[in-house]
Amino acid sequence: MSRRERFSGRDRYIHRRHSANQSMRNGLLVVDVQQDFVEGGSLGVKGGMQVAAMIARHVRHFRNEYQFVVASRDLHEDAPEHISDHPDFSTTWPPHCMVGTPGAAFVPTIQNLVREKYIQAVVTKGRHEAAYSAFEAVDVRGHKLLDVLKENRIDHIDVCGIATDYCVRASALDARKNQFQVRVLVNLCAPVNEDTGQQALEEMKAAGCQVQAATAP
């Protein structure tokens, strides 16, 4: 295999990102890749651990293509309209990502990215209420994600994480509402349900998001 053939996938990926505007500043949003949302967690999503590993490879492989990488996380303390011991799995859910519990932690592959500064900021949402979109989250200073992205002069956001049909969907739609160019990295997301996951992708496309597979080896 020639060098040109070996890197053609990566080159196409980068070309699509930059061809519209060479001065564009690119961000990556990693949504809620936490222990309670992967296999073995209280709301574990099938394929979550594999997605976490693929996100970590993607971040490392394309580290020079992003000017800013941010991760969101759920962190609930008391959210009675969202957390229930008798959930309906529509508007109420079993306890998950509770303050002080192992399930609230990022999975190790993502936590390593935070520790090694590949992820430059963490934003937290849902302490006292339901919060699906990362745009409801705040950083350690109390600044909303929108302000954090503006502070870093981000124009384009790649979105990945868990789950496609809930927090990824809500985050991508809010990004479009706030006039960002958005690309959903479909193979770096995991849905709760395949059908609702596909519906979410169609909704994101209709809102103007690109849906594309990431190409890191």
**Catalytic pick among 32, 36, 165, 174:** 32
Separation in Å, CA 49 to CA 75, 78, 139: 19, 27, 25
The C-alpha atoms of residue 144 and residue 138 are separated, in whole angstroms, by 4
**Catalytic pick among 36, 160, 165, 167:** 167
The C-alpha atoms of residue 174 and residue 177 are separated, in whole angstroms, by 5
Q: Is 125 a catalytic residue?
A: yes
DSSP letter for 202, please: H
The alpha-helical segments, DSSP class H, found in 91-131 are: 108-115
* Beta carbons within 10 angstroms of residue 192's beta carbon: 19
Q: Is 32 a catalytic residue?
A: yes
The C-alpha atoms of residue 4 and residue 7 are separated, in whole angstroms, by 6
The C-alpha atoms of residue 119 and residue 98 are separated, in whole angstroms, by 22
**Catalytic pick among 36, 74, 97, 125:** 125
The C-alpha atoms of residue 5 and residue 156 are separated, in whole angstroms, by 28
Active-site residue list:
32, 125, 167
